[in-house]
Amino acid sequence: MTRRIVYLPLIMMMTAAILFFGCATARPKVEQREALSEIVENGVGKAKLFDDALALAFRDALRKVVLEAIGPEPERQNSERIKTYVYDIAETFIVRYEVTDKVKSGKDTIVYARVAFDGDKVKESIRTIGVEVPEPREKKDYSESPYEPLILEALDNLTYLVYFEPEKRRIEDEYARLCVNRVNNYLAGKEYEYVDLERINEIKEEYFTLYEETQGAVSVVQLIAQALNADVYIVVDGIVEGEGKSGDIHFASASIDLKAFESATGRGLGTETGYSGRLGLASGMDAAKRKGVEVAVENAVRPTIDLVRNYMYKSFEEGIRYEVVVQGLGDYSMATTFRDALSAAGNFRSLKEVSVSAGQAKYYVYYMGRKPQLIDEVLANLQNEEGFENLTVLVSRGNAVIFGIEE
């Protein structure tokens, strides 16, 4: 009897310890297997506790999977159901994950994670709540064909425009401009073409007026991007905060959002958020804030450009999209003749008429060839056409070309 009394507390302590450690690892176990439909995305989360920040990183990565599967508009229209039946149970879709970075920002923890999801399970859950998941187009493998270098070259020739919304933004003007310049510096380092901030400032007032006339129905940044023949535009926003002073050290942090869009359609290509964590400098609060912006942009810009290039690669599988403008047209019949010349190009895939107005026409041409080749074919097709005797190239930049008929 005595021996039972002696060992009973020990047994209870062991049982309690098992229960305690079981509760401490209450997070659902992530399967260490490879799903046939595995989809890998990066996510970031910010919260006071590590586990809460990690959960937000899972949700952030999962949202990218959902956006890729159904598109931004269906995701927005069904946001409440998707939140309840997909995002709120994000961990049930995870195959495995890796925490790639962890940063302290004041009282908060910022967690960066690379997460592998079971794509089939995600899509099935979306279908269960009545949201259509389009069948993915079969991806063509150009690695053994002459089109692979062509597509990669077209990606490298994309023109980017980086700016901020005039009204709907949280970030102060000074730091918004700093964001723009830092993203442009990254693009310059990669030798990608971009529209300089000074060029945007030269024409922005005209498009701010147009933006106000449309009551904000179209992003002013998209209007400017289209006017300056940019293929992709990136909208910067975020929050920059001072976090006090300790001795001679000033502390600040920044959270910067980079949202990328296709200029022609306004379709979202992806969003990334960069965090700086809590940074301290002795040179003053403004210097600390600026450093926070620079670090946050650095953390967001590379994955943003990767998202853009991945999306545009898929888009280019159906032909490289060139923006073609012709000026100096005498009448609509000349626009028809010009359109026919585009369609007669040997590697022509498809064409979209953007606008035809007095003297000018604009098209998006999908063509599986290089821009100089397209230009040569158009000039050859029109050399004997009435009214096009003086057709010449006025501007050739990035994936855009402007023809003009000289008098």
The DSSP result for 84-152, as a single string, is HHTGGGGGGGEEEEEEEEEEEETTEEEEEEEEEEEHHHHHHHHHHTT---PPPPPPP--TTSTHHHHHH
Q: Is residue 172 part of a domain?
A: yes
pLDDT exceeds cutoff 80 at 129:
yes
> Using an 8 Å Cβ cutoff, are 236 and 163 in contact?
yes
**17 SS3 class:** helix
From 261, 281, 316, the end of a domain falls on: 316
Say if 301 falls within a structural domain.
yes
Q: Do 122 and 177 share a domain, yes or no?
A: no
* Whether 79 and 165 share a structural domain: no
Q: Which of 2-16, 90-104, 181-195 has the highest mean pLDDT?
A: 181-195
Q: Is residue 25 over pLDDT 80?
A: no
Q: What is the CATH number of the domain that holds 90?
A: 3.10.28.20
As a whole number, mean pLDDT of residues 202-209 equals 75
Give, rounded to a whole angstrom, the gap between the first and last alpha carbons of the chain.
114
Sequence-distant (6+) residues with CB within 8 A of 24 are none
pLDDT in tens, 355-396: 888 788 999 899 988 888 999 999 999 988 888 888 888 888
Residue where one domain finishes, among candidates 316, 347, 370:
316
289/234 same-domain check: yes
Q: Is 7 domain-assigned?
A: no
Close Cβ partners of 293 (under 8 Å, ≥ 6 residues apart): 175, 178, 179, 182, 238, 240, 254, 256, 276
Rounded Cα–Cα distance for residues 309 and 232 (Å): 10
Question: Per the domain annotation, does 58 fall within a domain?
Answer: yes
| Pair 197, 243 in one domain | yes
Q: Examine the domain organization and report whether 225 and 288 are in the same domain.
A: yes
Q: What are phi and psi of 394, to 5 degrees?
A: -90, -45
Determine the pLDDT at residue 46. 86
Residues 280 and 351 in one domain: no
Confidence of residue 22 (pLDDT cuts 50, 70, 90): very low
Residue 13 within a domain: no
Q: Are 256 and 236 in contact (CB under 8 A)?
A: yes
What is the tally of structural domains in the chain? 3
Q: What sign has the CA pseudo-torsion 280, 284, 289, 294? A: negative
Whether residue 302 sits in one domain with residue 169 = yes
Most confident of 19-33, 216-230, 316-330: 316-330
Structure-token match 């933004």, residue found: 169
If you compute the radius of gyration of the chain from its CA atoms, what whole number of angstroms results? 27
Instruction: Confirm whether 355 is domain-assigned.
Output: yes
CATH number (domain holding residue 154): 3.40.50.10610
| More confident: 177 or 321 | 177
Q: What is the pLDDT of residues 249-259, one digit of tens each?
A: 999 989 899 99
With respect to residue 244, please indicate whether it lies within any of the assigned structural domains.
yes
Mean pLDDT, residues 299-327 taken together: 87
Question: Residue 34 pLDDT more than 70?
Answer: no
Residue 13: band (very low, low, confident or very high) from pLDDT cuts 50, 70, 90: very low
- Regarding pTM above 0.75, the answer is no
Tell me whether residue 274 is in a domain. yes
State whether 284 and 324 are in the same domain. no
- Residue 216 is predicted with a pLDDT of 54
- Helix, strand, or coil here: 38? strand
Residue range 395-406, pLDDT digits in tens: 887 778 899 987
Distance CA 119, CA 116 (A): 9
Domain, as residue range, for 58: 38-128
Percent of the chain with pLDDT over 90: 32
CB 176 within 8 A of CB 164: yes
Q: Whole-number mean pLDDT of the chain?
A: 82
pLDDT band per the 50, 70, 90 thresholds, residue 167: confident
pLDDT of residue 150: 82
Confidence of residue 138 (pLDDT cuts 50, 70, 90): low
Please say which residue of 316, 348, 366 terminates a domain.
316
Phi and psi (nearest 5°) for 174? -60, -45
Is residue 311 domain-shared with residue 324, that is, in the same domain? no
Q: Of 41, 126, 54, which Cα lies nearest the Cα of 86?
A: 126
Verify that 239 and 269 share a domain, yes or no: yes
pLDDT band at 19 (very low <50, low <70, confident <90, very high): very low
Please check whether residues 191 and 311 belong to one and the same domain. Answer: yes
Segment 319-328 shows an average pLDDT of 88
Q: In terms of domains, do 108 and 72 share one?
A: yes
pLDDT at 18 over 60: no
